[in-house]
Chain A
Amino acid sequence: MKHLPKHLRPRRRYLAVEIETWPDADLARGPFQRELWYAAQNLYGDAGSADADLTVLGFDYADGIAETIVRARRGHVEDARAALACIDAVGGDPVGVRVRGVSGTVRACSERYLHGRAGISEERTVVFENESRTAVVRDSLLDVGGSDGFTGATQLDFE
Chain B
Amino acid sequence: MYEAVYAHPDGESTASRAAVAAGRYDYDGVVVRALDASPDYDRLREALDVDLVDAVEIDASNPERASGAVGNYRPQRELLILRGGTNALNRFAVEQPRVDVLSRPMEGNGNFNHVLAKAARDNGVRVEFDFGPVLRSDGGTRVQAISALRKLRELVEYYDAPYVVSATPSSHLQLRSPRELAGLGEVIGFDREQVLDGLREWGRLAARNRERMSESFIAPGVKRGRYEEDD
Interface of A with B (CB < 8 Å)? 20-22, 42-44, 78-82, 84-86, 88, 94-99, 140-141, 149-154, 156-157
Other than the given A152-B13, A156-B48, 12 more pairs (CB < 8 A) read: A81-B180, A84-B180, A96-B173, A96-B174, A96-B175, A98-B24, A98-B177, A151-B8, A152-B8, A154-B16, A154-B17, A157-B17
Also in contact, A94 and B177, with CB within 8 A (given A82-B186, A156-B43): no
B187 touches A153 (CB 8 A): no
A82 touches B187 (CB 8 A): yes
Can you name the residue of chain B whose Cβ is closest to the Cβ of A142?
A: B17
Residues from chain B with Cβ under 8 Å of A84 in the complex: 180
**Roughly how many angstroms separate A44 CA and B142 CA in the complex, as a whole number?**
13
Residues from chain A with Cβ under 8 Å of B21 in the complex: 96, 152
Interface string of B166-180 (1 = CB under 8 A from A): 000001111111011
**Roughly how many angstroms separate A149 CA and B8 CA in the complex, as a whole number?**
13
- Is B226 an interface position by the 8 A CB rule? no
Q: Lowest 5 CB-CB distances: which A-B pairs, in order?
A: A152-B13, A81-B183, A96-B173, A85-B180, A152-B17
Residues from chain B with Cβ under 8 Å of A150 in the complex: 12
Also in contact, A96 and B172, with CB within 8 A (given A81-B180, A149-B12): yes
CB under 8 Å from chain A, chain B span 1-18:
8, 12-14, 16-18
Interface residues on B, range: 35 or more
Could you jot down 15 A-B contacts, CB within 8 Å? A42-B142, A43-B187, A81-B184, A82-B186, A94-B171, A94-B173, A96-B174, A96-B175, A97-B180, A151-B8, A151-B13, A152-B17, A152-B21, A153-B14, A153-B17
Measured CB to CB, the closest approach of chain A to B43, in angstroms, equals 7
Count of chain A to chain B residue pairs whose CB atoms are closer than 8 Å in the complex: 92
Question: Which of B60-68, B77-85, B115-123, B132-140 lies at the interface?
Answer: B132-140
Residues from chain B with Cβ under 8 Å of A152 in the complex: 8, 12-14, 17-18, 21, 171-173
Residues from chain B with Cβ under 8 Å of A98 in the complex: 24-25, 176-177, 180
Residues from chain A with Cβ under 8 Å of B175 in the complex: 96
- Is B148 an interface position by the 8 A CB rule? no
Residues from chain A with Cβ under 8 Å of B8 in the complex: 151-153
Measured CB to CB, the closest approach of chain A to B230, in angstroms, equals 46
Classify the interface of chain B: helix, strand, loop or mixed. helix
Residues from chain A with Cβ under 8 Å of B180 in the complex: 81-82, 84-85, 97-99
B135 touches A88 (CB 8 A): yes
Residues from chain B with Cβ under 8 Å of A141 in the complex: 17, 20
Residues from chain B with Cβ under 8 Å of A80 in the complex: 183
**Roughly how many angstroms separate A21 CA and B172 CA in the complex, as a whole number?**
10
**Roughly how many angstroms separate A84 CA and B134 CA in the complex, as a whole number?**
12
Residues from chain B with Cβ under 8 Å of A149 in the complex: 12
Measured CB to CB, the closest approach of chain B to A112, in angstroms, equals 17
**Roughly how many angstroms separate A44 CA and B188 CA in the complex, as a whole number?**
9
Residues from chain B with Cβ under 8 Å of A154 in the complex: 14, 16-17, 20
A79 touches B183 (CB 8 A): yes
